[in-house]
Structures are given as C-alpha cells and as structure tokens.
Amino acid sequence: MPITLEQIRDNNSKARQLLQRTREQHFAVGAFNIDNQETLIAIAKAAQKLNSPVMVELSKNEVQSMGLQNVREMVDNYKAEFGIEMYINLDHSPTVEDCKAAIDAGYEFIHIDISQGNHDASDEEIINGTREVVEYAKYTGAVVEGEPHYFGGSSDVFKEAIDYDEIKKTFSTPESAKEFIEATGIDTFAAAIGNLHGKYPVPKILDLDLLQRIRDAIDPKKFISLHGGSDTPLHYFESAAKIGVSKVNVNTDLRFAFRTTMDEVLDENPDQYAVVKLMPEVENAVQKVVEEKISVFNSTGKAVI
C-alpha cells in the first residue's frame, strides 16, 4: 500500500535531520545499493547490530528489476521489523521523469544525474534538469543530490589500473562546486576527488585537501557525498567524515561479496536446489562488508529511531 503524503513529508523531515546530524556529529551515512532482497536483509541486520542509520539505494536497472513501489514497501517492512533508521536513495537517476516518480513514491533521497543518461549533456541541460527536480522535490521535502558532469567508472571489477592523469581532469573544484550548487539549489553535492565507481587492481587515492577546500567553499548548510565507496583504503573515509562528508555510496564491494560467496556455496552444495537454504552464508558475507563500512564511516550508534 502506498504511503500517505503526510508520511512521506515526515520521513523526508527525518532524512534532513539525519544529514544535519552527520555534520554535527562528524559521521557519514552509508548508502548501500541493493538488487535483491537478500542484500536488503543483510543491510538491515548490520544497521540493527551497530545501531546505525543507513540508506539503501537503487539505480535505474535495479528499479526496473525490483520495482519502484515494491522497494518502498520492502524497506518500510524491514525498517519496522528490525527497528532501524533506514531510508531510500534513488541513485544516478538519468531523467527528470524517473526522479519525479521516486519523489511521488516517497523516496527520501533523490540523485539526479543527467550526464548518466547522456555523457555529452551540456552544462545548461544538466543545470536545468537538476533545477527542475529540486523544484519538484519541494512539495514533499525530498533531499536532492546532483553533480555537474559524468562520474567515472562503473560498478564492475576492472583489470586495468587507474589512469589518474585522466581522472584528475574530472575532479571537482571549490569554485565549480559552489557555482553548481547555487545554480541548481541542490541539497547535496557529489564531489569528485579521486573516488571512482568499481574495484581496481590498485588502491584508489582521494585528495582530502581538495575535499576540505570544497567543504570550505560551499554553503555550510549544503552537504557532500562521495560515490565509489568500494575498494578504497578505509582511512580516507574516516578523514572524509571529519571533514564533512555526509554520505558515502557503496555498491561493488557488496556485489563482489555476494557473487563470490554464492559461487563458493554453490560449489560446496552441488546437489542443493533449494537456493534459499544457501542464502544465509551469502547474507552474512554481505553483512560483514556493510558493518565494516559503517564502522569507518563513524555511524555506529548514531541511529535515531
């Protein structure tokens, strides 16, 4: 059953309060991608165990697979069952229409990313589309995130090393971050400081000095997110939370744990066709990854129920 407008606005108010707490208490919220129910359960169990607020998030392919409204109801069910603080983020949504649908469905966090659908989108197209979502979200109070250009990588496991000379060309700057926020009115700015989607054969390197300059340059009431939270040395996130990052996205590490553990349990149980009986071990592997991230994001014990 769809939630009411009153419930949506109440949830969105709590979501905004959460982001304010991240700044006051120097922690970041983990935003964990889901593409199946088992991953959602693993995230919920980790949140309950560590008393941490969490976001679950899904991008366009995951929405198409699981259903926008279905996920809303699943999250509400597990939030009540586990007694946790949990929200939904629409991740890298490429169209204004998709964002509006998620806002109507009661998603608390909306990431509009025009460049995801069109890597060659002009600055004007990105700003206008982002601003349209910001205006639409005012009716329910949903938190809107945006970025001024295409973000590198994907949620895959890569064999090639990172070409940082090329990546640095796409880094955010304090000036461009400030200008984009002021032009669009977004609540959260997705910063590019060396963070990349996916797993690579070499560690990612984040420019924390640049992150600090961005934080100092933008409106203190605005928030910063980091995408590409997988396969990154954990100390970067400890520092980023202290600097003022409010949200870190994690996808590939969860998928990698899910897939590799599933392969192992399938090999160990060749005659077991009731796959549901094999899932507890897979869920446990994903849960361990979520718990590790929660710990370095400093969100343990920060939930408000």
The CA distance from 249 to 148, in Å, is: 17
Q: What are the backbone dihedrals phi and psi of residue 300, each rounded to the nearest 5 degrees, phi first?
A: -60, 130
Predicted model pTM: 0.94
What mean pLDDT comes out for the span 215-222?
98
Positive or negative, the CA dihedral 264, 270, 273, 274 is negative
pLDDT at 191: 96
pLDDT at 1: 67
What mean pLDDT comes out for the span 254-274?
96
What mean pLDDT comes out for the span 51-71?
96
Task: With respect to residue 305, please indicate whether it lies within any of the assigned structural domains.
Answer: no
DSSP class of residue 24? H
Task: With respect to residue 229, please indicate whether it lies within any of the assigned structural domains.
Answer: yes
Q: Among 15-19, 135-139, 198-202, where is mean pLDDT lowest? A: 198-202
> Which tokens hold the place of 175?
């000036």
Question: What b/e readout covers 90-128, taking b as 16+ CB neighbours within 10 angstroms?
Answer: bbbbbbbebbbbbbbbbbbbbbbbbbbeeeebeeeebbe
pLDDT > 60? residue 154: no
Angle (CA) 49 296 82, round 5°? 20
91 is catalytic: yes
Task: With respect to residue 157, please indicate whether it lies within any of the assigned structural domains.
Answer: yes
Task: With respect to residue 258, please indicate whether it lies within any of the assigned structural domains.
Answer: yes
What mean pLDDT comes out for the span 250-266?
95
The CA distance from 42 to 285, in Å, is: 8
pLDDT at 165: 77
Q: Among 127-141, 163-177, 222-236, 244-258, where is mean pLDDT lowest? A: 163-177
The alpha carbon of residue 207 and the mean position of all alpha carbons in its chain are separated, in whole angstroms, by 20
Task: With respect to residue 287, please indicate whether it lies within any of the assigned structural domains.
Answer: yes
> Which tokens hold the place of 217?
């340059």
Complete DSSP assignment for 38-55: HHHHHHHHHHHHHT--EE
Positive or negative, the CA dihedral 298, 22, 103, 252 is negative
Ramachandran sector of residue 231 (left: φ over 0; alpha: ψ -120 to 50; beta: rest): left
Task: With respect to residue 304, please indicate whether it lies within any of the assigned structural domains.
Answer: no
Contacts of 119 (CB under 8 A, 6+ apart): 150
Domain of residue 153 covers: 5-297
Q: Does residue 183 contact residue 127 with C-beta atoms inside 8 Å?
A: yes
* Structural domains of the chain, count: 1
Q: Which of 35, 91, 207, 253 is catalytic?
A: 91
Positive or negative, the CA dihedral 290, 293, 295, 297 is negative
Closest CA to 305 of 5, 17, 8: 17
Q: How do residues 272-288 score in pLDDT, each as one tens digit? A: 999 999 999 999 999 99
> Which tokens hold the place of 107?
């998603």
The CATH number that applies at residue 12 is: 3.20.20.70
Task: With respect to residue 82, please indicate whether it lies within any of the assigned structural domains.
Answer: yes
Q: How do residues 156-193 score in pLDDT, each as one tens digit? A: 666 666 777 777 788 899 999 999 999 999 999 999 99
pLDDT at 90: 98
Task: With respect to residue 302, please indicate whether it lies within any of the assigned structural domains.
Answer: no
